[in-house]
C-alpha cells in the first residue's frame, strides 16, 4: 500500500515541490537596491579588531565606535589600487556637509607590516585627509581580521630591489555607528555614489 501511495502521489508531490521551490527561489531575489554599494547587512560579524594605530598604540574596534566607518585593506607601497581608493573615499567624505564630516572615519589597514612601520603609515594616511586612521598589526592579527571579513592577502616574491607586490581586497567595507556591517563598496563606484550612501547611513541612525 505504501508503494502504491507513493506511485499515485508522485506527480502531485512533484508539482507541489516545484511550486514550493520556485517560491523559495523568488524570495531570495528580493530587491533591496536603495544603496549604491552592495548591502551586506547580516552577512558578516560586527566590527572588531586588535591592531596598532600609526602612533604605535594598541587599538580595538570599540575605540572608534559611534561613527560610520569605512574599512579598507592595503599597503603603502601599493602602486594604484590603494591610492585611488583612498583618494575616492577622501573625496566622498570631504564632499559631505561640514557638520557630517566628523561622523565618518576611514580605517586603512596595512597588511604589509614588514615595510609599513607606524611612522610610515602615519605619513601615508595624513596625505589623504584628516578623518583617516592608519592601522596595522602582526601578521596573525591581520590574518584574523581578514578572515573575519572573508578576504585574504598574499605576498609576491621580492624582486631584485627587494620590493614585492601584495595582493589584497579591493573593496571597502562600510560599518554603521553600531559597528554592524552594512555596505560593501566595489572599486567601480564613484565618490559621489559613496557620498550618497554615507549620507543615508549617517542620517539613518542619528
Partner 1 sequence: MSLLDYLLPYDFSPLTVLSYMLVMGFYGIGLLRMPEQDRPGALRIFAFTLGVIICYAVMQTRLDYYAQYMFFVHRGQHLILHHIGPILIALSNPLPIMGFWFARINPRWKQALRPIGWAYKLLQQPFIALFLFVGLIYFWLWPPIHFDAMLSRDLYWVMNWSMLLDGLLFWWLIFDPRPPAITSSLGYGKRMLILAVAGVLQMILGAWIVFSRDMVYDVYEVCGRAWPLDPEVDQFLGGLLTYIPPAMMSILGILLILRRAMHEDGKYTNPSKNLEEKAS
- In the complex, what is the shortest distance from the CB of residue 66 to partner 1, in angstroms, rounded to a whole number? 25
Cell of 84: 585611488
Choose the binding region for partner 1 from 64-72, 84-92, 116-124, 153-161 (rule: CB under 8 A): 153-161
The answer to whether 110 and 74 have CB atoms below 8 angstroms apart is yes
In the complex, minimum distance from the CB of residue 169 to partner 1, in angstroms, rounded to a whole number? 4
C-beta closer to partner 1: residue 36 or 38: 38
Site string for partner 1, 32-71 (x = CB under 8 A): ------x-x-xxx---------------------------
Q: What single DSSP character describes residue 205?
A: T
Q: For residue 91, with 0-12 CB atoms within 10 Å meaning exposed, 13-18 middle and 19 or more buried, which class applies?
A: middle
Stretch that binds partner 1, among 25-33, 56-64, 84-92, 191-199 (CB under 8 A): 25-33
What is the Cα 152 distance to its own chain's centre? 12
- Phi, psi torsion values for 39, nearest 5 degrees: -70, 120
**Position among 61, 108, 124, 168 found at the interface with partner 1 (CB under 8 A):** 168
Pick from 28, 79, 161, 206 the residue near partner 1 by CB under 8 A: 28
The packing angle between helices 81-94 and 191-204, to 10°, is: 50
Least Å distance, CB 80 to partner 1, is 14
Q: Which of 21, 46, 56, 192 binds partner 1 (CB under 8 A)?
A: 21
Strand ranges inside the chain, DSSP E: 38-39, 50-53, 58-60, 68-74, 104-110, 132-136, 154-155, 166-167, 172-175, 181-185
DSSP H helices, 59-169, are: 81-94, 98-101, 118-127, 139-148
Task: State the residues that interact with partner 1 by CB under 8 A.
Answer: 3, 6, 10, 13-14, 17-18, 21, 25, 28-29, 38, 40, 42-44, 73, 146-147, 150-154, 156, 165, 167-171, 184, 186-187
Amino acid at each position: 500500500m505504501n508503494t502504491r501511495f507513493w506511485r499515485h502521489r508522485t506527480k502531485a508531490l512533484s508539482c507541489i515541490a516545484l511550486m514550493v521551490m520556485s517560491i523559495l527561489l523568488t524570495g531570495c531575489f528580493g530587491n533591496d537596491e536603495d544603496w549604491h554599494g552592495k548591502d551586506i547587512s547580516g552577512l558578516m560579524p560586527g566590527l572588531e579588531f586588535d591592531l596598532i594605530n600609526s602612533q604605535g598604540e594598541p587599538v580595538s574596534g570599540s575605540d572608534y565606535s559611534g561613527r560610520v566607518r569605512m574599512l579598507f585593506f592595503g599597503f603603502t607601497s601599493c602602486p594604484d589600487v590603494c591610492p585611488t581608493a583612498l583618494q575616492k573615499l577622501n573625496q566622498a567624505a570631504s564632499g559631505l556637509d561640514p557638520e557630517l564630516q566628523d561622523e565618518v572615519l576611514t580605517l586603512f589597514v596595512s597588511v604589509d607590516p614588514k615595510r609599513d612601520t607606524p611612522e610610515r603609515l602615519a605619513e601615508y594616511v595624513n596625505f589623504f585627509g584628516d578623518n583617516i586612521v592608519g592601522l596595522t598589526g602582526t601578521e596573525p592579527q591581520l590574518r584574523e581580521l581578514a578572515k573575519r571579513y572573508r578576504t585574504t592577502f598574499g605576498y609576491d616574491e621580492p624582486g631584485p630591489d627587494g620590493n614585492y607586490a601584495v595582493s589584497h581586497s579591493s573593496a571597502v567595507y562600510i560599518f554603521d555607528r553600531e559597528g554592524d556591517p552594512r555596505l560593501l563598496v566595489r572599486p567601480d563606484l564613484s565618490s559621489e555614489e559613496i557620498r550618497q550612501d554615507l549620507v543615508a547611513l549617517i542620517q539613518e541612525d542619528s
